[in-house]
Structure 1
Amino acid sequence: MLRELHTNHLSFWLHLARCTSGTYWKLPRGVMVDTGIDGAAYNQVHCRADDEESIAEAAGYFGKRGLPWRVVSSGPASVTTVRGVEREPLYPIMSRDAVASEDAAVRADGLVVEVARTVDDVQEFVDCAADSFGYEPKLLEAICGPETVADERFQLYLGRSEGRVVAVAAGVSVPKDRTIGVYFVGVRPESRNRGFGRSVTARVIGDGAAGGAVTAVLQATPAGVPVYTGMGFAPVGDYLLWDFPHADPSHA
């Protein structure tokens, strides 16, 4: 099952690269993803933590481009330091059954959840996500193009309360693995603790199940684990992360 969950996670990042007119390519033992977004989480090498060749290639590539970047690995867990950088807190992988009938009934009071259909909708998604995550909106504006709404396997969700987008989420469907992935869940600070994050997450799962997914997957921050546990998710593994926030050609 972990293979299918990893596939979904990587599919999200590959699609984000397509949306931002970025690029990605296979390495002998990994995958590189360049979205061009100026944030370490958005430019990645997916490989084993002890794959020095792939990590060196990423360091050289992103260093020359002046982009921060991240190593994403499922192991080995014994590796704690990569190129002098200490590992980030564990990034739990969680899953649960995708059940349409159950999730369709989950609604937070006053919240209307819809799918982004236009570039203007995507801009609203970006504005809410930036506020939710404490980003500058310009960091995410690279996704505000027609490519973002062109692929039905990649959906952005808007949760509106009194007409304003206050919660967001993204969903990625991988039909061959029958998985629905939940990503980018965010709620504006002043709208938290009202069940809005749970509601947009449930909508993603319900739509995925209606499309044939049998398993829902997400990657939770440590703070988010109790919320998702309450929704029936259970930890099945961890991603190991190393962030290189200041691209330095001397690391190449």
Structure 2
Amino acid sequence: MESLDTVLAAHRAYLLGWNVGASGGPDLLTYRSEVPHAPLNGVLRVTGCAPRDALVEACHRLHGVPRIWWAGPDSDPGTAEGLLSLGAVEVARLPIMTTTTGRATVAPTPAGLRISESTDPHEFVPAYARVSGIPPEGVPAAIDREKAFTGDGTVIRLAGRFEDGRIAGTAVAWLSHGLVTLYFVGTQPEHRRRGVGAAMTAAALDLARERGVRTAALTSTAAGESLYGRLGFGTVGRFRLLSF
């Protein structure tokens, strides 16, 4: 199992792949995608930088886009509290979860669901945007950023489809730093409660295992923590997501 530091480095590398602005140095690492969706713009880490100074600089770099602060184990202790004292609002606490690809619980594939790689962002992005909170007016920018994505790793976009051929579920497998990290695991509302999300997760883990990757990681919502726990993931840390 890879260390938490490695898991966090892979997470930073993925979000920096969306960046079109100045990311700064390791003391204040930011990313800006221009997509009007807070998780796709923000502050990844604060180390050795006073919260007030970090806030001033981050507001300058991220002016004009919704954004979040990932206050997690890779930031200085007390970062969240310091930002809260400056007026930040905590919007979520997200568990950081990992598993070994060879030991994850097998999830059955729903009857009729076919999972394959998607290479068409014009189809794939609207599907995950619908369930991840990206507004319709932000979809064109997200498509552009997916087309231009550059990062220290490999992105594989998986789409699950039933007989009608339309995307029912999505998952992004990010292969970087020796592990696979999952993003945009989602199910279209009309196909929920059929095991699609679990099947998409299992397909991503199978893909990683076939490539010799032993560790899988993801950042879950609080509501999804029990679901991923049943699939064999364990919580190894938490992010506190903050907003101003």
Tell me whether the two structures share a fold, i.e. TM-score over 0.5.
Answer: yes
CA distance in structure 2 between the partners assigned to 1:86 and 1:79 by the alignment: 10
**What is the rounded CA distance, in whole Å, between the counterparts of 1:113 and 1:37 in structure 2?**
27
- Asked whether the equivalents of residues 95 and 217 of structure 1 are also in contact (C-alpha less than 8 Å), the reply is yes
Aligned match of 2:33: 35
**RMSD (Å) for aligned C-alpha atoms:** 2.6
1:165 to 153, 164, 167: 167
Report the Cα distance in structure 1 between the residues aligned to 2:70 and 2:241, rounded to whole angstroms.
5
Identity %: 26
Query: Are the counterparts in 1 of residues 67 and 243 from structure 2 also a CA contact under 8 Å?
Result: yes
Deviation at 1:233, TM superposition (A): 0.3
Q: Which 5+ residue runs of structure 2 have no aligned equivalent?
A: none
Unaligned runs of 5+ residues in structure 1 are 245-252
Question: Cα distance, 1:77 vs. partner?
Answer: 5.8
SS in 2 for 1:140: helix
Superposed counterparts of 1:1-252, under 5 Å: 1-17=3-19, 22-48=20-46, 51-52=50-51, 53-63=53-63, 66-75=64-73, 76=77, 79-80=80-81, 81=84, 83-99=86-102, 106-117=108-119, 121-145=120-144, 146-148=147-149, 153-162=154-163, 163-174=165-176, 177-244=177-244
Which structure shows the higher helix fraction? 1
Deviations 1:191-221 (A, max 9, x none): 1010001111111111112222111000000
Give TM-score, length-normalised by structure 2: 0.85
| 78 and 151 in structure 1: CA distance in 2 versus 1, 3 angstrom threshold | closer
Instruction: Please tell me the residue identity of whatever aligns with 1:113.
Output: I
**Partners in 1 of 2:4 and 2:178 — Cα distance?**
13
Q: Which amino acid is 2:112 matched to?
A: G
What is the rounded CA distance, in whole Å, between the counterparts of 1:150 and 1:70 in structure 2? 20
Following superposition, the deviation at residue 139 of structure 1 comes to 1.5
Query: Taking structure 1 as reference, are residues 95 and 216 closer, same or farther at Cα in structure 2, changes over 3 Å only?
Result: same
Identify if the C-alpha distance between structure 1 residues 158 and 148 changes in structure 2 by more than 3 Å, giving closer, same or farther.
Answer: farther
8 Å contact from structure 1 (residues 82, 242) kept in 2: no
One-letter amino acid matched to 1:155: I
Query: Structure 1 residues 39 and 232, CA, compared in 2 at 3 Å: closer, same or farther?
Result: same
Q: In the comparison of the two structures, how many residue pairs are matched? A: 232
Partner of 1:242: helix, strand, or coil? strand
- SS of residue paired to 1:5: helix
Shift in CA distance, 149/107, structure 1 to aligned 2, threshold 3 Å: farther
Q: Hey, which bits of structure 1, 4+ residues long, moved more than 6 A? A: 149-152
Cα distance, 1:102 vs structure 2: 7.0
Q: Distance in 2 between matches of 1:181 and 1:122?
A: 19
Instruction: Give deviations 1:213-238, integer Å, cap 9, x for gaps.
Output: 11100000011111101100010000
Kept after mapping to 2: 8 A contact 1:149/1:155? no
Give the counterpart letter for 1:231 in structure 2.
L
Residue 150 of structure 1, CA deviation: 10
Q: Which amino acid aligns with 2:89?
A: E
Is the deviation greater in 40-49 or in 232-241? 40-49
Q: Secondary structure at the match of 2:228?
A: helix
Q: Provide Cα deviations, 1:60-113, integer angstroms capped at 9, x if missing partner.
A: 2222xx11211112153683415302222211000000129975x742222111
